Structure 1
């Protein structure tokens, strides 16, 4: 049964700050994990494919509950700290091992390129996700259609932007030779994870939040429909 539209509410600064922190943490984790290759069914991919869909879940719930403007504010506040933190973490843990604080003394162009690619992909992918999600949400009462479509388009742009900026003619021979294959597999994994796991999770979390909001407003659960 489609969920009724939840009223947009004005969140205080601290929940928005928590969303910003969540976005930054996921970007940092994904930038680290994308350096760790993995073979899946004979195809090259990275562990970052399994972490980044969390951002789309958080963004879609934000748009659904409080609207496009707050979701865009989250992105605006998260993007520069995420860029800086991603670079620092990427340098310290380059190649999946701790390289010591002294590694920060020299500017690492390879890691900065990954961090900047993540910055560009994050902004482009999330803004497209918000636009697609909000447009479909207003036209369809099927609760699953908006997050599914937003993931389909948002993650396609995010993946294409990230891998092309980060690894086209990269100084890393493996990534330079395999980034197109890795990007395609990465997108397929992220889309599968989103559709099979995060879209249902979106529905469960949304239903719980709507029930909580109705209970606070004194609306009986049985009457909520």
Structure 2
């Protein structure tokens, strides 16, 4: 099997054995580029729910619409479903790419608030077409890079948010990171990123949320 994830070098392995205090912001550096911010979660499903809450606040409405690929894990949508959003599933091609013709038809019926683009099994899906689609509808673009360990070519440069699921690729019980970007199609800008609040506290609203706190797993 071809592995697109970068492997640790000797320096990284030795650093893991040496006792030292690491700030959580420093831990996120491999996943963030200049001007980006990031926060930690137990699962990327919760990170997506965090984006949904921001969008609901942005539109001042809980009834937002999310375009999700038809080939997607239903369990990962549990927190999002609990928030009462409208999910619209779009078809993917035989190459596991979005069917943009179908997307445009769906958007004519109801413009999406969020478009979820998946990089299936570690293979980068072209983001530029999705970004152009989102610009036309003022949609936030979220990249699901759950099968990619860290940013690689073609991943995390044209979207508003990027989801990484470290627990799926590393021997750890949980761990996911949400990256927010200022220059995606949603044009969040630096003011928009500042409005997201302290990244160290992004998960707190999820754990205290009246509905989400009832789910059988933690943020």
TM normalised by structure 1 equals: 0.29
Structure showing the higher strand proportion among its residues? 2
Structure showing the higher helix proportion among its residues? 1
